[in-house]
């Protein structure tokens, strides 16, 4: 199985897990508020559907993608519009968008770069980003319902994105990206240990992969997590970690998560 095939399989499985959570909700459940201010569960699903649709455009029609407004408020507006339709209709829209995205990314030529909100990315990078966002907004949904977050080894891709965006996270907070290496050792839900960085790096981050992903997507404050940092770069990184595009969200300080990660 290729890297892209594996990522698309994991993306489909993560979306299906969230689908299982929301498909049985009644109208009151869809309207339940989530930790993202002003967003209900319906807003969360509508945001995923809209972003998947826009990602399909990026993969199949870059001209049409560039015509999509990228202005302040567009994410909230799209989520509100999607949340206003009946839940069954919204759910079918999201399912169709997921299927279309899988097909579109599978058809991207090797080496081709897709436009996005930031640097162009490969199909594998796009699949990773969509997996990260599907999982992160799924956490918002399960938090709203009092359920534990999804925790499987599909988190490896989310954790990897959290690691490779270290320099980006510093930059989004107006800080220079440290050149120092950071060793990251995370315990997967399966018990495996995932590692990044040199084993002799002076700075180090260790702990459960789930906790690292919750921090990198700004779904939990650092104080609520079992993450250990050794060294000043590692300490500063966990304070500003951000795996999603866009300006730093309030979750960087441990408040409500960023509504429209994409």
Give the chain's domains with CATH numbers: 3-145 (1.20.120.450), 155-253 (3.30.1050)
Q: Does pLDDT of 24 surpass 50?
A: yes
Average pLDDT over residues 143-163: 98
Q: What is the CA radius of gyration of the chain?
A: 18
- pTM score, whole prediction: 0.94
Q: Does pLDDT of 256 surpass 70?
A: no
Q: What is the mean pLDDT of the chain?
A: 94
Q: Does pLDDT of 83 surpass 50?
A: yes
Nearest to 214 by CA among 262, 129, 150: 150
β-pair type (193-196, 182-187): antiparallel
How many other C-beta atoms can be found within 10 angstroms of the C-beta atom of residue 139? 25
Contact 147, 26 (CB under 8 A): no
Tracing tokens 């080894």 back to the chain, one arrives at 153
Pairwise pLDDT comparison (202 vs 248), residue with the higher score: 202
Confidence of residue 250 (pLDDT cuts 50, 70, 90): low
pLDDT of residue 245: 82
pLDDT of residue 60: 97
Give the percent of the chain with pLDDT over 70. Answer: 95
pLDDT of residue 255: 41
Pairwise pLDDT comparison (192 vs 244), residue with the higher score: 192
């Amino acid at each position: 199985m290729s890297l892209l095939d594996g990522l698309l399989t994991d993306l489909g499985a993560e979306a299906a897990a969230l689908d299982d959570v929301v498909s049985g909700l009644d109208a009151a459940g869809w309207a339940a508020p989530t930790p993202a201010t002003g967003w209900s569960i319906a807003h969360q699903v509508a945001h995923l559907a809209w972003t998947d649709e826009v990602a399909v455009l990026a993969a199949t029609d870059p001209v049409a993608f560039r015509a999509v407004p990228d202005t302040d408020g567009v994410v909230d507006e799209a989520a509100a519009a999607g949340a206003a339709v009946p839940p069954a209709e919204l759910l079918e829209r999201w399912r169709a968008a997921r299927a279309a995205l899988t097909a579109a990314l599978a058809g991207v030529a090797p080496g081709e770069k897709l436009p996005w909100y930031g640097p162009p990315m490969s199909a594998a990078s796009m699949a990773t980003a969509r997996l990260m966002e599907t999982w992160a907004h799924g956490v918002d949904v399960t938090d709203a319902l009092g359920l534990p977050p999804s925790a499987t080894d599909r988190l490896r891709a989310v954790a990897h994105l959290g690691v490779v965006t270290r320099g980006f996270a510093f930059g989004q907070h107006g800080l220079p990206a440290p050149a120092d290496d950071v060793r990251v050792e995370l315990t997967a839900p399966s018990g495996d240990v995932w590692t990044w960085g040199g084993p002799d790096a002076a700075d180090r981050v260790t702990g459960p992969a789930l906790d690292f992903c919750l921090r990198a997507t700004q779904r939990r404050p650092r104080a609520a997590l079992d993450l250990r940092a050794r060294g000043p770069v590692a300490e500063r990184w966990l304070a500003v970690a951000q795996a999603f595009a866009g300006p730093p969200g309030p979750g960087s300080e441990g408040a409500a998560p960023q509504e429209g990660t994409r």
